[in-house]
Amino acid sequence: MFAHQVAAAQPLLIGLLLLWSSYGKVVRRDSAERTALPRLVGETRAAPAYHAVGAIEAVIALALLLPPAWTIEAVAAAVLAGGFTGYLIYAKIVVPDASCGCIGSSAKPVGRRAIGRTVLLLATALAATTADDGWWSIGSVAVVAVLVLEAAAFVMLSAELDRYWLLPLRRLRVEITHPLAGTATNDVPLAATQRRLLLSPAYRAVNGLLRSDIHDYWDDEDWRFVSYTARYDGRPATAVFAVPHQDSTPEAVRVAVVDETSGQTLYRPTLLATA
């Protein structure tokens, strides 16, 4: 009985997700060129195809959200989700630098999270095909809790939303746990900070541990903090550099490598060579 109620509630979640996704595709005109569509359908047809997909998403979303409840709506959503999954796998293999173009205007390349999101969408759509009732007939608190958990899973799989929840959490964790928490202004261009950082003994001390370009940065009074993803002794970590605004010497840059999960300081060079 509970499983049937959960299945009946899935069209609400799917409809809201597709409606949100369709908005970006219909409104934004320049997102198509960053996706794999130019390679798949040709440059001249990429934008119309992108907008068409958005329109199809909107139609299916409205069909799922508005009564009456038909199985064909969920089947259409499942077919669409299956198509998304195949397309993203194609983009990942053939055009690895292409963006997903799924939600928002993010230019991040297609990753495992984006593919996982479409697989989750496909699973929820397949579950919805077994529903006997419309989502509006479900009033169970337990079912609502399941929907909230599913929505949270979609958010966690959406790299486009990281700046709203993941990066602030990482920033807060670093400010609380790492030993370089201090102070910064927004007047210094990031490129200038990066040049100073690359010339610093601190960067040379941890260069072999870094696994990304600049991942995040923020200012706090007299300091700019710059973070990179890293690995230390096989453990996921974050390298946080502290670059002072007032002292332009490379030797003034400091760095700490902290554990990605616990925030524990794993490595903090104290005596940095100046040559």
Ranges of each domain in the chain = 2-157, 166-267
Average pLDDT for 150-164: 88
In the predicted model, what is the mean pLDDT of the chain?
86
- Contact between 106 and 160 under an 8 Å Cβ cutoff? The reply is yes
CA distances from 181 to 26, 171, 178, 240, 243 (A): 43, 10, 6, 10, 11
Q: What is the pLDDT of residues 5-58, one digit of tens each?
A: 999 999 999 999 999 999 888 877 667 887 899 999 998 999 899 999 999 999
Which of 257 and 163 is assigned the larger pLDDT? 257
pLDDT confidence of 246, banded at 50, 70, 90? Answer: confident
- Contact between 105 and 28 under an 8 Å Cβ cutoff? The reply is yes
Cα–Cα dist 237/201, whole Å: 20
Q: Model pTM?
A: 0.66
Q: What angle do CA 243, 172, 218 make, to 5 degrees?
A: 30
SS3 138: coil
Q: Is the pLDDT of residue 156 over 70?
A: yes
Angle 2-27/71-94 helices, nearest 10 degrees? 60
- Contact between 40 and 97 under an 8 Å Cβ cutoff? The reply is no
